[in-house]
């Protein structure tokens, strides 16, 4: 007999997940106009109040290259401020259980995070990133991989000394937008390397939509075979072909329990244009049309997880409301379908029911709830031949 219980078929599949929100950092970094400091603070705070326990809030790199985050200190100060702490207390949110992350690709940014920490506004967690493709890594960081590994090792130690955790990101796992195909085995080894030099956890990243469901399942199965603590691993998927939800399901089946996304599916490379002026960013975009790239849509991911019956800790309706507001902030239609179509309601939408069915049932003498003619057998009897084989010529 076929096994119908999904969790028996995939015994590693989690019953509870952590969904991280990275809208304010990864989402906004690709926007070509400056998103106000007030908006950044608003969405970060509201997503925490809606249930986020892991959230990326800024990038501490040089504002010359990423001017979208020139307000990093103001954003961090607001999130660490007494006013927000009081709001959280009133809403029953334990802010001490929320992990706030700032991206710190290079050592100077790590030093800045440490300065913030000394001021009392530092992040709980910072992030450095390697790519298994040396060309992609050089484009992002300006170093060789060997140089960067030494830098990361120094940074992990100095961050730990002030109580900041380091997330090591491994990128170009399923392919590189520069050199093409990559090896999954290299990403597994890079994951081990990061953990061996003290990284707290690993973000496994598809940065250009290269991932396919079969390879996502294979990779995360390899990861959990080698390093079986699922809490140590985070799945980060970009959406360029509208197939990332299949990859999320594959990652769940493999046993991954941490994911992240952005409201509206915002995000992509750091913008190389801001307001009316070109900026450095990370150079030319990898995409033919930069409007249709970004992360998996947080709203749709959340609804998918919710309808799978997996525990997630969010107020779904509040997140959908925030997604609708984000379209006003961005000034355009974004890529969430759940914002418009909502959840599948078990109680249905009776406002669309046609009047008169109960009267018709009574008029023709049927019993309420009757689905087939009363004189038919209780169960259908299949014919010997059915489907195309019953009418196709030999």
Give the residue numbers spanning the domain of 314. Answer: 13-341
CATH classification of the domain holding 157: 3.20.20.70
Q: Establish if 361 belongs to a structural domain.
A: no
CA atoms within 13 A on the CB side of 371: 4
Domain count within the chain: 1
pLDDT in tens, 13-24: 999 999 999 999
CA distance 172 to 208: 8
Q: Is the pLDDT of residue 291 over 80?
A: no
Q: Establish if 312 belongs to a structural domain.
A: yes
CA distance 11 to 240: 30
At residue 137, the pLDDT reads 95
pLDDT in tens, 184-202: 999 999 999 999 999 999 9
Q: Establish if 51 belongs to a structural domain.
A: yes
Q: Establish if 169 belongs to a structural domain.
A: yes
Section 257-275 average pLDDT: 94
pLDDT in tens, 229-265: 999 999 999 998 888 999 999 999 999 999 999 999 9
Q: Establish if 322 belongs to a structural domain.
A: yes
Q: What is the secondary structure of 8-36 as a DSSP string?
A: HHSTT--SB-EEEE-IIIIIHHT-SSPPP
Q: Establish if 248 belongs to a structural domain.
A: yes
Q: Establish if 378 belongs to a structural domain.
A: no
* Segment among 40-49, 130-139, 379-388 with least mean pLDDT: 379-388
At residue 394, the pLDDT reads 64
Whether the CB-CB separation of 24 and 52 falls below 8 Å is answered with no
pLDDT in tens, 128-146: 999 999 999 998 899 999 9
At residue 268, the pLDDT reads 87
Q: Is the pLDDT of residue 292 over 80?
A: no
CA distance 78 to 88: 13
pLDDT in tens, 317-352: 999 999 999 999 999 999 999 999 988 888 888 999
Q: Establish if 330 belongs to a structural domain.
A: yes
């Amino acid at each position: 007999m076929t096994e119908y219980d999904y969790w028996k078929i995939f015994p590693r599949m989690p019953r509870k997940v952590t969904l991280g929100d990275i809208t304010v950092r990864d989402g906004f970094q690709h926007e070509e106009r400056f998103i106000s400091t007030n908006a950044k603070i608003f969405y970060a705070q509201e997503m925490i109040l809606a249930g986020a326990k892991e959230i990326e809030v800024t990038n501490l790199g040089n504002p010359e290259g990423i001017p979208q985050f020139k307000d990093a200190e103001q954003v961090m100060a607001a999130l660490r401020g007494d006013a927000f702490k009081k709001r959280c207390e009133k809403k029953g949110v334990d802010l001490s259980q929320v992990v706030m992350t700032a991206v710190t690709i290079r050592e100077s940014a790590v030093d800045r995070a440490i300065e913030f920490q000394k001021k009392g506004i530092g992040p709980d967690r910072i992030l450095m990133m390697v790519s298994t493709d040396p060309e992609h890594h050089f484009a992002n960081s300006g170093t060789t991989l060997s140089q960067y590994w030494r830098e990361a090792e120094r940074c992990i130690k100095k961050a730990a000394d002030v109580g900041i955790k380091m997330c090591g990101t491994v990128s170009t796992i399923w392919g590189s937008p520069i050199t093409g195909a990559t090896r999954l085995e290299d990403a597994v080894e890079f994951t081990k390397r990061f953990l061996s030099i003290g990284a707290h956890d690993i973000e496994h990243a598809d940065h250009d939509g290269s991932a396919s469901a079969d390879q996502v399942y294979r990779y995360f199965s390899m990861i959990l075979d080698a390093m079986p603590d699922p809490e140590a691993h985070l799945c980060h998927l970009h959406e360029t072909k509208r197939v990332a939800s299949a990859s999320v399901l594959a990652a769940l089946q493999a046993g991954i329990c941490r994911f992240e996304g952005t409201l509206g599916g915002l995000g992509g490379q750091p913008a190389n244009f801001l307001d009316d002026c070109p900026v450095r960013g990370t150079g030319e975009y990898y995409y033919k049309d930069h409007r249709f790239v970004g992360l998996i849509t947080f709203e749709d991911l959340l609804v998918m997880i919710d309808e799978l019956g997996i525990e997630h800790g969010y107020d779904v309706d509040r997140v959908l409301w925030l997604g609708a507001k984000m379209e006003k902030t961005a000034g355009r239609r974004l890529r969430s379908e759940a914002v418009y179509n909502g959840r599948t309601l078990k109680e249905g939408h009776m406002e669309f029911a046609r009047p008169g069915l109960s009267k018709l049932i009574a008029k023709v003498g049927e019993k309420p709830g009757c689905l087939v003619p009363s004189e038919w057998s209780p169960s259908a009897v299949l014919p010997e031949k059915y489907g195309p084989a019953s009418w196709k010529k030999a």
